[in-house]
C-alpha cells in the first residue's frame, strides 16, 4: 500500500516472523491475537490456513482495523457472518484477496467486456490447475479441517470469483468434486456447471492433476469472444485474443494483447484497498463476494457428498 509501514509481523515460527520483519524493523510476535489488535496497526493482512482466516480477520475488524484477508476468507460461507458483523459495527473496510481480478490481462478483459463490444455475454469457460509436488497430499491443504476442502476451494474459488465478476450471481449450481490421483481425503479435481437467473453459463474445471501449470478463461458474447491464457511465471505469459464477429461472420478480426511483465496484481490490489480506505468505499471483492463464491463451492461439495461438518479452529474464542 503506498506509504504503508509494516509495524508488526506474526508467525507461529518466531524465526520466520523475524525474517519478514527485518527489512522494516517491525515488532515480531507469535500471537496472532496480539498482532491483530496491535495499537500500532491500522490495517491487518491475514494470510493463514483457511481455518484461521475468518477468526483472525474478525478479531482485527472488531478491534477497528481495516483488513485484507486472503482468499477464500473462510472454509464455509457461514464463517464470514461474524466478520461481516464486526466490520459493520466498527465501520472498517474488509477486502478479500481475489488478486486475479488485478492481473493486467483480466483487467483488460473486463474493460473490453464492459464496453459492450462483445454484446450480451453468453458463457464463461475456464480451466486452472497445477500438478502439486512430492508430499502434496500430506500438506495442510489436504486436511479438510484446516482447508475446508481441496482444489475447489483452492484454485477453483478463483475461477468462480472471476466467472461471477463477468456474469453475476449464479442461481443454479451443479458440479462434481473427485479425488483421482492424490492419496488424500479432499478432492484433486473440481468441475462446476453454473447458471445465472437469465441462463448465462459458466463451465469451470480446477485440477491438481494438470502436471503442466495452466490457466485459461474464455468470455463469449453474442458479438465476440475473449480468450485469456497465462498468469505469468510457470503459467505462461498473460495473453488475450479478442475475436470480434463481423456482420458477415466468417473468420473474425483478431486483436492480441500480451503482458510479459512481472506480476503486479498484489501491488494493484493494495493500491485499490488504499483508495477504498481513503474514500470510505466498500471494497470489491468484499465479504459478500467471498460468501457467494464459497456458497458455490459448498454446492458442489454437497452434490458430491463431500460437504462435511467442520470443527471450530483449535484455541479460537472470538
> What is the model's pLDDT at position 2?
59
287-303 vs 81-90: helix axis angle to the nearest 10?
Answer: 170
> What is the model's pLDDT at position 317?
65
Provide the pLDDT confidence category of residue 232 given band limits of 50, 70 and 90. Answer: very high
Q: HEC profile for the chain?
A: CCCCCCCEEECCCHHHHHHHHCCCCCEEECCHHHHHCCCCCCEEEECCCHHHHHHHHHHHHHCCCEEEEECCCCCCHHHHHHHHHHHHHHCCCEEEECHHHHCHHHHHHHHHHHHCCCCCEEEEEEEEECCCCCCHHHCHHHCHHHHCCCHHHHCHHHHHHHHHHHHCCCCEEEEEEECCCCCCCCCCEEEEEEECCCCCEEEEEEECCCCCCEEEEEEEECCEEEEEECCCHHHCCEEEEEEECCCCCCCCCEEEEEECCCCCHHHHHHHHHHHHHHHCCCCCCCHHHHHHHHHHHHHHHHHCCCCCCCCCCCCCCC
Reply yes or no on whether the pLDDT at 101 is more than 70: yes
Looking at domain 8-99+267-303, what is its CATH homologous superfamily? NAD(P)-binding Rossmann-like Domain (3.40.50.720)
Q: With CA atoms as reference, report the closest residue to 241 among 261, 222, 220, 270.
A: 220
What percent of the chain has a predicted confidence (pLDDT) above 70?
Answer: 98
Provide the pLDDT confidence category of residue 49 given band limits of 50, 70 and 90. Answer: very high
Reply yes or no on whether the pLDDT at 1 is more than 60: no
Cα–Cα distance for residue pair 316/244, rounded to 1 Å = 53
Cα–Cα distance for residue pair 146/234, rounded to 1 Å = 27
Give the residue extent of every domain in the chain.
Answer: 8-99+267-303, 104-262
| pLDDT tens digit sequence for 55-80 | 999 999 999 999 999 999 999 999 99
Q: How many residues does the chain have?
A: 318
Half-sphere exposure of 263 (CA within 13 A, CB side): 16
Quote the cell numbers at residue 167. Answer: 456474469
Domain 104-262 listed as CATH 3.30.360.10? yes
82, 62 contact by CB (below 8 A): no
Provide the pLDDT confidence category of residue 316 given band limits of 50, 70 and 90. Answer: confident
List Cα–Cα distances, 285 to 3, 100, 225, 259, 272, in angstroms: 23, 11, 24, 23, 11
Provide the pLDDT confidence category of residue 13 given band limits of 50, 70 and 90. Answer: very high
Mean pLDDT of 118-147: 97
Provide the pLDDT confidence category of residue 315 given band limits of 50, 70 and 90. Answer: low
Amino acid at each position: 500500500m503506498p506509504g504503508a509501514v509494516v509495524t508488526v509481523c506474526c508467525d507461529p515460527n518466531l524465526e520466520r516472523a523475524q525474517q519478514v520483519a527485518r527489512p522494516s524493523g517491525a515488532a515480531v510476535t507469535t500471537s496472532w491475537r496480539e498482532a491483530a489488535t496491535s495499537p500500532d496497526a491500522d490495517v491487518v493482512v491475514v494470510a493463514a490456513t483457511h481455518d484461521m482466516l475468518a477468526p483472525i480477520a474478525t478479531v482485527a475488524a472488531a478491534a477497528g482495523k481495516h483488513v485484507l484477508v486472503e482468499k477464500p476468507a473462510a472454509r464455509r460461507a457461514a464463517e464470514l457472518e461474524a466478520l461481516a458483523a464486526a466490520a459493520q459495527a466498527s465501520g472498517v473496510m474488509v477486502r478479500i484477496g481475489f488478486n486475479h481480478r488485478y492481473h493486467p490481462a483480466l483487467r483488460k478483459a473486463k474493460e473490453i467486456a464492459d464496453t459492450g463490444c462483445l454484446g450480451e455475454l453468453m458463457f464463461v469457460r475456464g480451466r486452472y490447475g497445477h500438478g502439486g509436488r512430492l508430499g502434496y497430499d500430506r500438506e495442510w491443504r489436504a486436511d479438510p479441517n484446516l482447508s475446508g476442502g481441496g482444489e475447489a476451494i483452492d484454485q477453483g474459488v478463483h475461477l468462480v470469483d472471476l466467472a461471477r465478476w463477468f456474469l453475476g450471481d449464479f442461481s443454479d449450481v451443479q458440479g462434481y468434486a473427485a479425488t483421482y490421483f492424490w492419496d488424500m481425503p479432499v478432492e484433486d479435481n473440481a468441475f462446476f456447471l453454473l447458471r445465472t437467473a437469465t441462463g448465462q453459463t459458466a463451465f469451470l474445471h480446477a485440477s491438481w492433476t494438470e502436471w503442466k501449470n495452466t490457466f485459461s478463461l474464455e468470455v463469449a458474447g453474442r458479438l465476440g469472444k475473449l480468450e485469456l491464457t497465462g498468469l505469468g511465471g510457470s503459467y505462461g505469459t498473460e495473453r488475450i485474443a479478442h475475436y470480434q464477429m463481423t456482420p458477415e461472420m466468417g473468420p473474425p478480426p483478431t486483436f492480441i494483447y500480451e503482458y510479459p511483465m512481472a506480476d503486479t496484481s498484489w501491488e494493484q490490489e493494495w493500491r485499490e484497498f488504499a483508495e477504498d480506505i481513503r474514500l470510505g468505499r466498500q471494497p470489491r471483492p468484499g465479504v459478500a463476494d467471498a460468501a457467494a463464491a464459497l456458497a458455490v463451492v459448498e454446492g458442489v461439495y454437497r452434490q458430491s457428498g463431500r460437504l462435511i461438518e467442520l470443527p471450530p479452529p483449535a484455541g479460537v474464542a472470538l
